[in-house]
Amino acid sequence: MKSCAIRILVAAGAFCAALLALRVALRGLDWPTLRTQIHRLDWRWLALAAVFDVASYATQGLRWRLLLDGSKLWQTTRATYAGLFVNELVPLRPGEAVRAWMAARDLDVGLWTIVPTMLSERLMDGFWLALALIGALAVAPLPAVAAHAVGIVSGVVTVGLIVALALGGRVRSGLLHPGALFMSAVFLIAQGLAFWSVLPASQISLGLLAAGVVMIVVRLDTMIPGAPANLGTYRFATVMGLSLFGVPQAQAAAFSLVVFTVLTIPLMVLGLCACLSAGVTWRRVRELAV
């Protein structure tokens, strides 16, 4: 009962923080500007963004398959999408528990066989994110907090690498898999390309490198579990990232709504299909979220 109350309080705090971030992000939103931007959207670029977005999560599924011997690509990709779908609906990201449960069930193994591979995924993501942050510091006028973030992320990744090297032989494929590490880089690149594709669709002239910096800012700001669908934090980080390159507040706020919608729709559709095909019920989600 006490743990349930604590969880409710944490979720309430996450919602309040998200609403505050949303208000700050959209304070300069000009609704006529938003309508104009929507009418001027180039749907060919949006379709390309959706393709890159789906490809990024297929890559994530392939990476997890490399870490889980005996799994099939459709199993790991379905579990990935099911987890992402739940995270869009429920606070504090219980989707990670859902995808771990699905993988353990499909492979008929214990959860403690699955969890280390998921930690390995986060470690590899952190490795490439740290490198991307270092590169971003060299090409973009990032605020001082970003410089501190580089040190923190790099330190965490270093400690994680040491632990992974120590435990590598005790997991089915090892915690450090060269192919999985490469696919982690491909995943981050595909995510960046998906984000970048929405920029020309919205008539915002930013290069691929600048778009990558903005995407990194968004990923950094949404790392901590919070409200469902990163309510508020995603928009706030998008506006903050675009402001580094001189994009006006009103235009950046409108774009934050567009890019979130465009990149969330494919995830929600495929995630719902994944949950239905896997037999994931709301009761099961509640059990795993406790």
- Stronger pLDDT, 94 or 272, i.e. the higher one: 272
pLDDT band at 171 (very low <50, low <70, confident <90, very high): very low
Q: Whole-angstrom Cα distance, residue 101 to residue 95?
A: 10
When the pLDDT of each residue in the chain is averaged and rounded to a whole number, the result is: 85
Q: Whole-angstrom Cα distance, residue 1 to residue 12?
A: 17
pLDDT tens string 81-102: 999 999 999 887 889 999 999 9
| Cα-based distances in Å from 31 to 35, 64, 227, 256 | 6, 42, 25, 13
Residue with tokens 């999985």: 180
pLDDT band at 157 (very low <50, low <70, confident <90, very high): low
- Stronger pLDDT, 204 or 137, i.e. the higher one: 204
> Which two tokens mark 15?
């919602």
Report the range of poorest mean pLDDT among 2-11, 20-29, 36-45.
2-11
Q: Give the DSSP H or E segment for 170.
A: none
| Cβ–Cβ < 8 Å for 122, 93 | no
Please give the distance of CA 273 from its chain centroid, rounded to a whole number.
19
Q: Whole-angstrom Cα distance, residue 146 to residue 129?
A: 12
pTM exceeding 0.85: yes
Query: Quick one: what percent of the chain has pLDDT higher than 70?
Result: 85
What spatial distance separates the first Cα and last Cα of the chain, rounded to whole Å? 11
- Stronger pLDDT, 201 or 161, i.e. the higher one: 201
pLDDT band at 23 (very low <50, low <70, confident <90, very high): confident
Predicted pLDDT at 190: 96
pLDDT tens string 102-150: 999 999 999 888 998 998 898 888 888 888 888 877 777 666 666 666 6
Q: Whole-angstrom Cα distance, residue 100 to residue 98?
A: 5
| Cβ–Cβ < 8 Å for 255, 247 | yes
Q: What is the mean pLDDT of residues 190-213?
A: 93
> Which two tokens mark 157?
């990744």
Dump the DSSP string for 83-139.
HHHHHHHSTT-THHHHHHHHHHHHHT--HHHHHHHHHHHHHHHHHHHHHHHHHHHHH
Predicted pLDDT at 120: 87
Predicted pLDDT at 169: 44
**Strand, helix or coil for residue 165:** helix
Report the range of poorest mean pLDDT among 23-37, 44-58, 65-79, 93-107.
23-37
Predicted pLDDT at 217: 87
> Which two tokens mark 50?
């959706």
- Stronger pLDDT, 28 or 129, i.e. the higher one: 129
Q: Whole-angstrom Cα distance, residue 228 to residue 200?
A: 28
Residue with tokens 């919602």: 15
Predicted pLDDT at 161: 64
Amino acid at 92: L
